[in-house]
Amino acid sequence: MGIEPDAVASYVDRAVEAMADIVGDLGDDLRDRAAEFRASGPTADLIAAAQEAQRRFRADIVTADPKARPRGGAATRPDELEFVSQGHALLHVMEEVCQHLGQMEITRDLLRQS
């Protein structure tokens, strides 16, 4: 892949940490948690879960073989790059985390306006 695992992880870490900051900033009172996907729980638990996901991602990325097939017996689908190799799967995680960060930023901005 030519990119150090820490470099990829740093992009994911930055996005996850920004997502946790958004959740912490919004707190428990601003959001209508009952209407949000029927989810419940304090923001501290969401932030802790995000930190655990970061830890697991860093553990996975260190042991990844960027050129090898994805783990877990995922079927290769030529139209979906994340199934080409472990390196592609790691980049897909980065892509998804960054997309969700953008969605959270928009949601935060809308909530702050009301």
Q: Are 93 and 12 in contact (CB under 8 A)?
A: yes
Angle, vertex CA 44, rays to CA 108 and CA 15, nearest 5: 50
Q: What is the DSSP letter of 83?
A: G
pLDDT digits (tens, 9 = 90+) for 40-75: 778 899 899 999 999 999 998 889 998 888 887 656
Q: Are 90 and 9 in contact (CB under 8 A)?
A: no
Closest by CA to 2, choosing from 78, 85, 96, 80, is 85
pLDDT digits (tens, 9 = 90+) for 11-28: 888 899 998 999 898 888
Closest by CA to 89, choosing from 102, 76, 100, 99, is 76
The structure tokens listed for 5 are 């695992």
